[in-house]
């Protein structure tokens, strides 16, 4: 198996003030002290808590990312932040195209592609989220949807930048519903995503791309998911808000 990065990431969404962010990260660092893990642990707090998160995570192995970024560098774009601003805060990661942004805030494959291009100009690691809704799965459209989303997001990526991209497969029907994809379903979707990347950029680039699974991941289902050959980590929503449960997921990821 290729030597891919293993990542356990927590998407905090619209949760936690700066003070709560600090106490959660402090608690996480205590719970992870002495835990021998191959995984890179990343948290994605809301924008206003990012500076506090970086400070609280200093001198630990915990990394910090933002939940979104705009593609322009500066100018008249009220409410937006640039990749350069996020880098200046000391972040390492940024989420792109989360299904909640696609469903509620007008995100499309085209806007994900523009954000990705801006991020790849700098040094942040982008985590590009893709995934089908229930009706698409039930109608047998999953493969087409994943192919379209991956091709759409990565269409302008230069071959020498592909290695920096992390993809997260997050079936929308599994997000926040308690219905985790079975390890087999997740592995099949990851294989489809990897094959799409292979067609676009070659097999070795695809084999080096880390693909995370997200959707109702908990400490109890992590080990079975991570046992699948095509899963390189997990992106966790609800269960990442509590330090004990998130640390349990890190431990279960091995
Ligand atoms: C997510 O929103 O990225 C997610 C995976 O959420 P949850 O773990 O709560 O399903």
pLDDT per position as a tens digit, 130-164: 999 999 999 999 999 999 999 999 999 999 999 99
pLDDT higher than 80, residue 2: no
Neighbours of 241 (CB within 10 A): 18
Kindly tell me the sign of the dihedral angle through the C-alpha atoms of 138, 141, 142, 148: negative
Position 3 confidence tier, pLDDT thresholds 50, 70, 90: confident
What is the CA(122)–ligand 1 centre distance, in A? 27
- pLDDT on residue 236: 98
pLDDT higher than 70, residue 54: yes
Q: Active-site residue 40, yes or no?
A: no
d(CA 17, CA 208): 36
The residue nearest atom 6 of ligand 1, judged by CA position, is 237
Position 34 confidence tier, pLDDT thresholds 50, 70, 90: confident
Name the catalytic one among 40, 170, 228, 230. 170
Considering the entire predicted model, what is its pTM? 0.97
Position 28 confidence tier, pLDDT thresholds 50, 70, 90: very high
- Mean residue pLDDT across the chain: 97
d(CA 176, CA 236): 10
pLDDT higher than 70, residue 1: no
Q: Which atom of ligand 1 is nearest to the CA of 216?
A: 10
- pLDDT on residue 222: 98
Q: What are the pLDDT digits (tens) for 181-236? A: 999 999 999 999 999 999 999 999 999 999 999 999 999 999 999 999 999 999 99
Kindly tell me the sign of the dihedral angle through the C-alpha atoms of 77, 113, 91, 180: positive
Position 92 confidence tier, pLDDT thresholds 50, 70, 90: very high
pLDDT, average across residues 226-249: 98
d(CA 201, CA 182): 28
Name the catalytic one among 40, 98, 161, 230. 98
Structure tokens at 171: 């079936």
Position 251 confidence tier, pLDDT thresholds 50, 70, 90: very high
DSSP states along the chain: ------EEEEE--S---HHHHHHHHHHHHHHHTT---SSEEEEE--GGGHHHHHHHTTTSSEEEEES---SSSSSS-TT---HHHHHHHT--EEEES-HHHHHHS---HHHHHHHHHHHHTSSPEEEEEE---HHHHHTT-HHHHHHHHHHHHHTT--GGGGGG-EEEE--GGGTTTS-PPPHHHHHHHHHHHHHHHHHHH-HHHHHH--EEEESS--HHHHHHHHTSTT--EEEESGGGSSHHHHHHHHHHH-
Q: Active-site residue 208, yes or no?
A: no
pLDDT higher than 60, residue 125: yes
Cβ contacts of residue 35 below 8 Å, gap of 6+?
247, 250, 251
- pLDDT on residue 98: 98
pLDDT higher than 70, residue 24: yes
pLDDT higher than 90, residue 66: yes
What is the CA(9)–ligand 1 centre distance, in A? 10
Classify strands 211-214 and 62-66 as parallel, antiparallel or unpaired: unpaired
């Amino acid at each position: 198996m290729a030597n891919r990065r293993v990542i356990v990431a927590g998407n905090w969404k619209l949760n936690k003030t700066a003070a709560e962010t600090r106490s959660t990260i402090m608690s996480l660092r205590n719970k992870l002290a002495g835990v021998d893990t191959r995984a890179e642990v990343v948290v994605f707090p809301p924008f206003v808590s990012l500076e506090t998160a970086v400070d609280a995570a200093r001198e630990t192995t915990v990394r910090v990312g933002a939940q979104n970024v705009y593609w322009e560098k500066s100018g008249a774009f009220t409410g937006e932040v640039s990749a350069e601003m996020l880098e200046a805060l000391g972040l390492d990661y940024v989420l792109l195209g989360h299904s909640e942004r696609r469903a509620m805030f007008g995100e499309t494959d085209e806007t994900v592609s523009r954000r990705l291009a801006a991020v790849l100009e700098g040094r942040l690691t982008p985590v590009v989220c893709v995934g089908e809704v229930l009706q698409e799965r039930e109608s047998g459209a999953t493969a087409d949807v994943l192919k379209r989303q991956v091709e759409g997001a990565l269409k302008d990526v230069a071959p020498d930048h592909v290695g920096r991209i992390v993809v997260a497969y997050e079936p929308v029907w599994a997000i926040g519903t308690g219905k985790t994809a079975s390890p087999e379903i997740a592995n099949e979707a990851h294989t489809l995503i990897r094959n799409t990347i292979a067609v676009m950029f070659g097999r070795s680039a695809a084999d080096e791309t880390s693909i995370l699974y997200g959707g109702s991941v908990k400490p109890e289902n992590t080990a079975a998911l991570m046992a699948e050959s095509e899963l390189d980590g997990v992106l966790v929503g609800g269960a990442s808000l509590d330090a004990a449960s998130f640390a349990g997921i890190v431990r279960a990821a091995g």
